[in-house]
Amino acid sequence: MEKEYQKIGNVFEFGERYRTILGFIEPFKSLKDLIWQGTEKIDGTNIRIHWDGHNITFAGRTNNADNPKELSNYLTKLFLTDEMEYVFEQIFGEKETYIFGEGFGNKIQSGGDYGEIGFIVFDINIDGFDLKRSDVDDIASRLGLPSVPVRFEGTLDEAKQWVAEHHMSLLGNGEHEAEGLVLVPKDVQLYDNKGKMIKCKCKYRDMLKVGLIKWQILSLDFGWEITLFPDMNIKENKKYNMKTALLISIRPEWAEKYLKGVK
């Protein structure tokens, strides 16, 4: 299985000190005012499904990637069947096809809140050509597979704001926080000088550390006063203990879940 899914770069340029956001990195800086389409970024592991015209195989994003045992068992039952091989033959014929998707759910990354293990499609390549979003959705539907939901359309500045608002995922039971967006220019496929499709990711975690979501810790009466922006389901100007303060200073994305339980 030779074709690997391209690594998606971050939309931001980061400074070396404290990983501060310096702005959009090129080429996204020059393209930021285009209308972009954003699908939900899934917190899972990258999977390739390969059809060589006769047989179906699957692997991780790279040839050396190892998949969790539970996910491999799930994919075997889903794809390596006579019924699925027949459907692939009817849809793709002898055209070499790669279906790129995400394995998610229990015991995969931090995706336990998604619920049971599943597979969702985000891109399809047939005979070396990347399909448009509408065609990806259509073929996934014909295969009986879900495809990543479109969550956003707008400029990159608007995408940054959308991610900062911290929406919940549309997958599973709705209890998992959306990791962010994967963005491509809407209605046009652009490629760089290496032949790679221009796309980027915008993650909530990056903004939680720096940028749009800011936090500060102030000493007050041997305790700590914490202010977080925007609303994170906790009251502002409230005292918290040293453990909470240290948790925020080390890994603010962990602290958010902890603080949501504080009344």
pLDDT tens per residue, range 126-157: 999 999 999 999 999 999 999 999 999 999 99
109-118, 190-199, 248-257 — most confident range: 190-199
- Provide the β-strand partners of residue 228: 215
Task: Give the strand pairing for 180-185 and 45-51.
Answer: unpaired
**Residue 68: pLDDT above 90?**
no
| Per-residue pLDDT tens over the stretch 219-258 | 333 344 444 433 333 333 334 443 444 444 444 444 455 4
pLDDT for position 226: 41
Nearest to 244 by CA among 263, 211, 217: 217
Q: Is residue 98, in this structure, part of any structural domain at all?
A: yes
19 — pLDDT class (breaks 50, 70, 90): low
Residue 195 CA from chain centroid, whole number = 22
Residue 235 CA from chain centroid, whole number = 29
Q: How far is CA 152 from CA 89, 120, 162, 239, in A?
A: 34, 18, 8, 37
> Do 108 and 236 share a structural domain?
no
**What's the rounded mean pLDDT across residues 42-53?**
93
> Do 37 and 108 share a structural domain?
yes
pLDDT for position 1: 60
pLDDT for position 111: 55
Quick check: 42 and 148 in contact, CB under 8 A? yes
Scanning the structure block, which residue is given the tokens 């990354």?
A: 109
Q: Is residue 128, in this structure, part of any structural domain at all?
A: yes
Single-letter code of the amino acid located at 126 = I
Domain span holding position 67? 9-207
> Do 77 and 45 share a structural domain?
yes
CA distance 127 to 120: 21
> Do 200 and 142 share a structural domain?
yes
233 contacts: CB under 8 Å, gap ≥ 6: 259, 260
> Do 193 and 227 share a structural domain?
no
Q: Is residue 133, in this structure, part of any structural domain at all?
A: yes
pLDDT for position 63: 67
Quick check: 141 and 161 in contact, CB under 8 A? no
pLDDT for position 85: 97
Q: Is residue 4, in this structure, part of any structural domain at all?
A: no
Q: What CATH number did the domain enclosing 116 receive?
A: 3.30.470.30
Alpha-carbon radius of gyration of the chain: 21
> Do 100 and 114 share a structural domain?
yes
**Residue 79: pLDDT above 50?**
yes
Q: Is residue 55, in this structure, part of any structural domain at all?
A: yes
| Per-residue pLDDT tens over the stretch 91-109 | 999 999 999 999 988 878 6
How many domains are contained in the chain?
2
